[in-house]
Amino acid sequence: MSHIQSVVARSVWDSRGCPTVEAQVTLSSGHTGRAIAPAGASTGAGEAKELRDGGHTFKGLGVGQAVRLVHEVVAPALQGMDIHDQAAIDAAMCRADGTPDKSRLGGNSLTAVSLACLWAASAHADLPLWRYLSGSDEVSLPLPEIQIFGGGAHAKGSVDLQDFLALPHGARSFAQSLEWVAEVYHAAGKSLSQQGKNLGVADEGGFWPQFGSNEAAIEALVKAIELAGFKPGVEVSIGLDLAATQYHSAGVYHWRSEGRQFDRDQLLQVYERWVNDYPIISMEDGFAEDDTEGMRIMTALLGDRLQIIGDDFFVTHAAQIAERAAMGACNAVLIKPNQVGTVSETMAALQTAKQHQLDSIISARSGETEDVSIVHLAVGWGVPQLKVGSFSRSERMAKWNEGLRIEQSLGRSGTYPAEHLFRWL
Ligand code: 2PG
Ligand code: MG
């Protein structure tokens, strides 16, 4: 057994150059664990609330108060606790916070401390974090979902849809998946450059799109897959994160980049046509976070040939997953630890998804750092898909590269289940 001796927090910087919380936990055994909270841009209303300082400095995003509260409230509450009792540690932090949305201590502080505790526990057990979580279970690497074009809130609304992703489900290994997507990513960049449309990269490293329409970006992605030498729909398919809350207001869906408006049924018709016309196998947040009926009719119409993911729609909250899945909305859940604020609640969300036969995808945020915790969670918890953003910028590459290290350390014992994931293919 080993106990928590100290919890130290500090303000560090994320991939958008904004402050975020890092936590470091030291045990009585001398082992340590460290983690950094990520941050979203297209956040769900039901997410754990970040604690930010406000005011003018750093656009109001300072985390001075959050750091102070880790030292003054969280550290004393956790001191002496058994590091291997993550559930008790997380429960103690929730009690100390005392709010339903973590707004007193901040979801950012709690996420960093909770994950730092997990790293410290694995260090004390002398195991890689993924192995600490998996126990003796056989593990496999997740299918990467990799953004090629970034839009929406991550690219100042240049197109309305947020993520245009490549899913290399025909690859035989995690390493091969990355090799394939590298080719697609570079083919997309080269093609944009040749057309004089390469404007650099958006928040998650995908190319900043300069297309006449959302659909033109999908066409460009199909073309990039072909240019890279792969068969669209057979080897590499397309996923979209529509992040539809961002273009929804009072029952109307409005694509500003195209000057088009839709009601729920009209939007669903567009999605259906896209699924028929393009090799799209996954769509996330196709309707707004409070439009359960939209998600339900989308799932009823397309759920047997499309992965329909809820992100802002579920916000990694077990109760919300249970309630909305029971209504027939979505067949998959995006899992983001900082949406709910602790490792234990993230695990509860995952278990609830399983109970409702929903697939799961672990996801990074648009504001990230070198922290690689989510890669270990995906492997250790057996989550078969991982979404980390694009194939550039070191906060993204750190995670892909960590997956490569884990896959290599598994040698032949690791299986790669990607080709069995989408049962209709
Ligand atoms: C999402 C994420 C990552 P953000 O919507 O899935 O792409 O974006 O972190 O801004 O919520
Ligand atoms: Mg999303």
| CATH number of the CATH domain containing 87 | 3.30.390.10
Question: Alpha carbon of 201 to those of 96, 391, 393: distances in Å?
Answer: 41, 10, 9
Instruction: Report the alpha-carbon distance of residue 25 to residue 314 in Å, rounded.
Output: 30
Q: What is the pLDDT along the chain (425 residues), one digit of tens a residue?
A: 899 999 999 999 999 999 999 999 999 999 999 999 999 998 999 999 999 999 999 999 999 999 999 999 999 999 999 999 999 999 999 999 999 999 999 999 999 999 999 999 999 999 999 999 999 999 999 999 999 999 998 888 789 999 999 999 999 999 999 999 999 999 999 999 999 988 889 999 999 978 889 999 999 999 999 999 999 999 999 999 999 999 999 999 999 999 999 999 999 999 999 999 999 999 999 999 999 999 999 999 999 999 999 999 999 999 999 999 999 999 999 999 999 999 999 999 999 999 999 999 999 999 999 999 999 999 999 999 999 999 999 999 999 999 999 999 998 667 788 878 998 88
Ligand 1 center–CA 289 separation, angstroms: 13
DSSP single-letter state for residue 247: G
Q: Which candidate, 344, 120, 417, 380, places its Cα nearest to that of 362?
A: 380
Does residue 9 sit within a domain? yes
CA of 389 to the centre of ligand 1 (A): 9
Q: Residue for token digits 């849809």?
A: 161
| Residue-by-residue DSSP string for 89-135 | HHHHHHHHH-STT-TTT-HHHHHHHHHHHHHHHHHHTTS-HHHHHHT
**Whether residues 318 and 384 fall in one domain:** yes
Residues 260 and 351 in one domain: yes
User: Ligand 1, from 363, 385, 386: best to mutate by most atoms within 8 Å of Cβ?
Assistant: 363
The minimum-distance atom of ligand 1 relative to the CA of 367 is 9
Task: Return the CATH number at 290.
Answer: 3.20.20.120
- Rounded to the nearest angstrom, the distance between the alpha carbon of 163 and the centre of ligand 2 is 8
Find all residues with CB under 8 Å of 46, minimum gap 6, and list them. Answer: 101, 289, 315, 317, 320
Which of 96, 126, 156 terminates a domain? The answer is 126
Which protein residues have their CB within 5 A of the ion that is ligand 2?
241, 284, 311
- Residues 89, 183 within the same domain: no
Task: Tell me which DSSP letter residue 415 carries.
Answer: B
- Same domain for 104 and 68: yes
> DSSP strand E in 367-412: where?
385-390
Measure the CA–CA gap between 345 and 339, rounded to whole angstroms.
Answer: 10
Domain that holds residue 46: 4-126
Point out the residues that are catalytic: 204, 336
- Give ligand 1 pocket residues (Cβ under 6 A): 40-43, 162-163, 204, 241, 243, 311, 363, 365-366
From the list 157, 168, 244, 248, the residue with the least C-alpha distance to 203 is 157
CA dihedral 52, 57, 58, 61 (to 10 degrees): 10
In a domain, 283, yes or no: yes
233 and 89 in one domain?
A: no
Number of domains in the chain: 2
Distance of alpha carbon 302 from alpha carbon 298, whole angstroms: 6
Please tell me whether residues 312 and 353 are part of one structural domain: yes
- 363 plus 409 within the same structural domain: yes
Q: Considering the entire predicted model, what is its pTM?
A: 0.97
Domain end (from 126, 152, 179):
126
Domain boundary among 93, 126, 159: 126
Same domain, 114 and 154: no
CA 81 to centroid of ligand 1, rounded, Å = 33
Query: Any idea which residue has 């970006």 for tokens?
Result: 217
Query: Are both 147 and 27 inside the same structural domain?
Result: no
Closest C-alpha residue for ligand 1 atom 3: 365
